[in-house]
């Protein structure tokens, strides 16, 4: 009779301890970092950046033309405020564009730098060992040679080094073998391309942070100095102070606009003088695609127009002679322009100020009492003026455009229309109170843009390096060649020497079979050239 031992019950294993909050947070951050620095994420962000830049090319931007933005608001009063809240008139300075830009920047750095370190290690490492079964590779073959194995590999090594391969000799499991590799510049070109893209982003960011630009209309005989207070519109980087601006003044001596037979613009050229404040200045000529270049500063011609000149004489004899004011083009095809002349200093008191609102036609034709322009060239300049008297509101503290009258003052009756006329050069009109307004001629003005971008040279160098890296990626091949020798069976009559097994792996565009065939033929010819000549045995007599 046997007594069974009581069963042993093993205690259940305790559940694994839950990771701490810090460990879970670190794991989640590491997961997000790996996703952000993946090449796929960088490509998606680059596509989003290109997509985000599309509205900047379709809609007018404040940094380029305030007038076009104001015109868009006038043409689309309902849609424009909605687009403005989405920063679509300031696309490249919007928070969402900056977010995509910064994410792309971080993704590229996190993706490229580890690859650059890995590529550096691979440059210092020897080519990898030959695979065990070389004949299974896509391009493989065998050559027989009477040379011993080491001498056959010497011939192969010499031929491959002539072709700029890096060669490594080893003793494999089945005999001596050789590994060769070239085309490292293909991966180098890939890294240069991405590193140049990072440098390009850095240059653009530096240009935005330390750069500035301003636009101004300059009439012939006038000028400006590089100061934010003088520009009509300007923008500056976050790290720019007014004291950082380059000390430069520009005077416009003459402007010329030439047109083709179909009245399209052929060229805009401006004769200017430039120099530091207080200097006489140097003369030069600039055009639309030929700006003034000075140590990172540029002065561009971006447009042109006309500044009609008027003489105003009040009944008491007070006069203002040959005063000009730029009229902004409302039709680029005919250069028909609109503007305003405000002369508050000729008024007897605050409620007797004078202002003119006008329409200038370079080649004017009056049809049905309405003045129109039929040619952008100033062949028959005329101007239609409407005179107002009253309070202009210049001292009210409310900013207003220098190119138009305040419509609120007209609506409230503070400015009253007192006369209108169509005038050719030399003609005048008299208002009911005896004020005489004469159209004395015109001058041309140039729309100039002063730009300072310290990242231009950096961007240019990065762009050249980017194209160079791209060419390396597209034109170069990453190629590996393996060779192994084995001794032929000496028991077979007439057999001897070695069997050379060759194989090749190529990463890149194009077919590799013809290249491998040419390499095999060259190696076969070299082996035959090194083979010893057979000895002549004398015949028995």
Neighbouring residues of 391: CB distance < 8 A, sequence distance ≥ 6: 350, 351, 353, 409, 414, 415
> Is the predicted pLDDT of residue 379 greater than 80, yes or no?
yes
**What is the pLDDT confidence band of residue 488, given thresholds at 50, 70 and 90?**
low
Provide the b/e sequence for 267-287 (b: ≥16 CB within 10 Å). ebbbbbbbeeeeeebeeeebe
User: How far is the C-alpha of 486 from the C-alpha of 176, rounded, in Å?
Assistant: 8
User: How far is the C-alpha of 382 from the C-alpha of 360, rounded, in Å?
Assistant: 6
Neighbouring residues of 279: CB distance < 8 A, sequence distance ≥ 6: none
User: How far is the C-alpha of 308 from the C-alpha of 326, rounded, in Å?
Assistant: 7
SS3 of 280-320: CCEEEEEECCCCEEECCEEEEEEEEEEEEEEEEECCCCCEE
Residue 511's CB is within 10 A of a number of other CB atoms, namely: 9
Q: How are strands ordered across the β-sheet holding 282-287?
A: 223-225, 249-259, 265-275, 282-287
> Is the predicted pLDDT of residue 429 greater than 90, yes or no?
yes
- Lowest average pLDDT, out of 12-16, 197-201, 295-299, goes to 12-16
Q: What is the DSSP letter of 135?
A: G
User: How far is the C-alpha of 502 from the C-alpha of 517, rounded, in Å?
Assistant: 11
Tens digit of each residue's pLDDT (9 = 90 or more) over 203-249: 888 888 888 888 899 999 999 999 988 888 888 888 888 888 889 99
pLDDT of residue 6: 58
Tens digit of each residue's pLDDT (9 = 90 or more) over 289-321: 899 998 878 999 988 999 999 999 988 888 888
Interval 131-137 mean pLDDT: 87
**What is the pLDDT confidence band of residue 494, given thresholds at 50, 70 and 90?**
very low
Backbone angles phi, psi at 416, to 5 degrees: -120, 135
pLDDT of residue 149: 83
> Is the predicted pLDDT of residue 512 greater than 70, yes or no?
yes
- Cβ atoms of 91 and 52 within 8 Å: the answer is yes
> Is the predicted pLDDT of residue 99 greater than 60, yes or no?
yes
> Is the predicted pLDDT of residue 252 greater than 50, yes or no?
yes
Tens digit of each residue's pLDDT (9 = 90 or more) over 329-359: 988 889 999 999 988 877 556 677 889 999 9
User: How far is the C-alpha of 340 from the C-alpha of 386, rounded, in Å?
Assistant: 9
**What is the pLDDT confidence band of residue 511, given thresholds at 50, 70 and 90?**
low
CA distances from 353 to 345, 390, 414, 467 (A): 7, 5, 10, 62
User: How far is the C-alpha of 75 from the C-alpha of 157, rounded, in Å?
Assistant: 75
pLDDT of residue 256: 92
* Pair of tokens at residue 62: 């404040």
User: How far is the C-alpha of 154 from the C-alpha of 141, rounded, in Å?
Assistant: 18
């Amino acid at each position: 009779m046997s007594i069974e031992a009581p069963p042993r019950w093993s205690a259940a294993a305790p559940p694994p301890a839950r990771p701490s909050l810090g460990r879970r947070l670190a794991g989640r951050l590491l997961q997000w970092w790996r996703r952000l620095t993946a090449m796929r994420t960088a490509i998606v962000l680059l596509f989003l950046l290109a997509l985000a830049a599309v509205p900047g090319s379709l809609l007018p931007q404040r940094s380029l033309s305030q007038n076009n933005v104001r015109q868009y608001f006038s043409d689309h009063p309902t849609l424009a405020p909605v687009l403005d809240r989405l920063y679509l008139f300031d696309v490249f300075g919007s928070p969402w564009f900056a977010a995509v830009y910064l994410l792309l920047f971080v993704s590229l750095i996190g993706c490229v730098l580890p690859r650059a370190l890995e590529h550096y290690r691979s440059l210092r490492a020897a080519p990898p060992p030959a695979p065990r079964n070389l004949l299974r590779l896509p391009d493989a073959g065998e050559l027989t040679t009477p040379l011993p194995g080491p001498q056959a590999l010497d011939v192969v090594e010499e031929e491959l080094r002539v072709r700029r391969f890096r060669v490594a000799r080893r003793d494999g499991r089945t005999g001596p073998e050789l590994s060769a590799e070239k085309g490292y510049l293909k991966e180098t070109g890939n890294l240069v391309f991405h590193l140049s893209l990072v440098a390009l982003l850095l240059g653009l960011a530096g240009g935005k942070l330390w750069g500035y630009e301003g636009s101004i209309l300059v009439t012939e005989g006038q000028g400006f100095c590089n100061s934010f207070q003088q520009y009509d519109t300007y923008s500056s980087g976050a790290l720019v102070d007014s004291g950082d601006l380059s000390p430069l003044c520009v005077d416009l001596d003459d402007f010329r606009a030439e047109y083709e037979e179909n009245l399209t613009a052929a060229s805009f050229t401006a004769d200017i003088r430039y120099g530091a404040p207080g200097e006489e200045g140097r003369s030069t000529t600039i055009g639309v695609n030929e700006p003034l270049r000075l140590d990172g500063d540029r002065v561009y011609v971006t447009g042109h127009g006309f500044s009609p000149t008027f003489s105003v004489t009040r009944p008491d004899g007070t006069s203002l002679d040959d005063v000009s004011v730029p009229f902004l083009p409302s039709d680029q095809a005919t250069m028909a322009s609109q503007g305003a002349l405000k002369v508050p200093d000729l008024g007897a008191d605050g409620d007797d100020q004078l202002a003119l609102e006008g329409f200038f036609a370079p080649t004017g034709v009056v049809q049905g009492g309405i003045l129109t322009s039929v040619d952008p060239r100033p062949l028959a300049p005329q101007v239609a003026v409407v005179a107002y008297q009253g309070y202009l509101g210049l001292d009210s503290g409310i900013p207003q455009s220098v190119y138009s009258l305040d419509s609120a003052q007209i609506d409230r009756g503070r400015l009253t229309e007192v006369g209108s006329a169509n005038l050719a050069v030399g003609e005048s009109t008299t208002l009911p109170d005896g004020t005489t307004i004469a159209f004395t001629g015109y001058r041309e003005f140039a729309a100039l843009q002063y730009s300072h971008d310290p990242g231009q040279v950096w961007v240019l160098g990065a762009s050249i390096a980017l194209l160079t890296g791209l060419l390396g990626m597209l034109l170069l091949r990453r190629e590996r060649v393996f060779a192994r020798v084995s001794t032929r069976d000496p028991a077979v009559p007439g057999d001897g020497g070695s069997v050379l097994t060759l194989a090749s792996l190529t990463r890149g565009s194009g077919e590799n079979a013809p290249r491998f065939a040419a390499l095999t033929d060259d190696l076969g010819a070299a082996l035959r050239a090194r083979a010893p000549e057979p000895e002549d045995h004398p015949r028995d007599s």
